[in-house]
């Protein structure tokens, strides 16, 4: 039987990679440029589309599709465990993020697969945005 993928354990959490809100209030956010409407992620001081500093935070639907992925069977460090899936997800709002896929069998993953965010606690003040298949 193929294992169901879980999150990487023991990965250092950087502020840029996390959503700094209590998990019970968590939502995935990105920045939308007021000048050109480009969606910016990760957070930035200057729009990647037009260099404007006029950026507003917006709540993401947390839904998107898998652009690309790989399943890691030999992790760089033993404490990471395996297997796990690293993926690039295109969010419906027009930005792309690097993440992990969880609660899915490796053979089920495919390009274009619909996914939704699965916010999981990483300490007391942070959650990390993983993605799981959007089955409905």
Q: Which is nearer to Zn ion, 13 or 50 (CB)?
A: 50
Collect contacts of 20-26 with beta carbons under 8 A, ≥24 apart: 20/125, 20/126, 21/125, 21/126, 21/127, 22/124, 22/125, 22/127, 23/119, 23/120, 23/121, 23/127, 26/119, 26/127
CA distance 102 to 106: 10
Contacting Zn ion within 39-58 (CB under 5 A): 47, 49-50, 52
Contacting Zn ion within 65-104 (CB under 5 A): none
CB of 33 to Zn ion, least distance (A): 3
Q: Based on the shown chain and the rule CB under 5 A, indicate whether residue 38 belongs to the binding site for Zn ion.
A: yes
Among 36, 42, 43, 98, binds Zn ion (CB under 5 A): 36
- Please give the span between the terminal C-alpha atoms of the chain, in angstroms, as a whole number: 25
**Count of residues in contact with Zn ion, rule CB under 5 A:** 8
Among 28, 33, 66, 113, binds Zn ion (CB under 5 A): 33
Summarize as ranges the residues that interact with Zn ion (CB under 5 A): 33, 35-36, 38, 47, 49-50, 52
């Amino acid at each position: 039987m193929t294992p169901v993928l879980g999150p990487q354990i023991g990965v250092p959490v950087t502020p840029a990679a996390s959503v700094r809100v209590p998990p019970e209030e968590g939502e995935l956010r990105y920045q939308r440029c007021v000048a050109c409407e480009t969606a910016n992620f990760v957070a930035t001081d200057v729009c990647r589309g037009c260099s404007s500093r006029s950026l507003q935070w917006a709540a993401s639907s947390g839904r998107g599709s898998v652009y690309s992925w790989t399943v890691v069977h030999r992790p760089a460090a033993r404490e990471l465990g395996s297997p796990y899936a690293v993926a690039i997800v295109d969010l419906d709002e027009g930005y792309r993020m690097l993440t992990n896929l969880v609660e899915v069998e490796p053979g089920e993953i495919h390009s274009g697969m619909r996914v939704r965010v699965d916010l999981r606690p990483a300490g007391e003040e942070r959650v990390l945005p993983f993605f799981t298949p959007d089955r409905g």
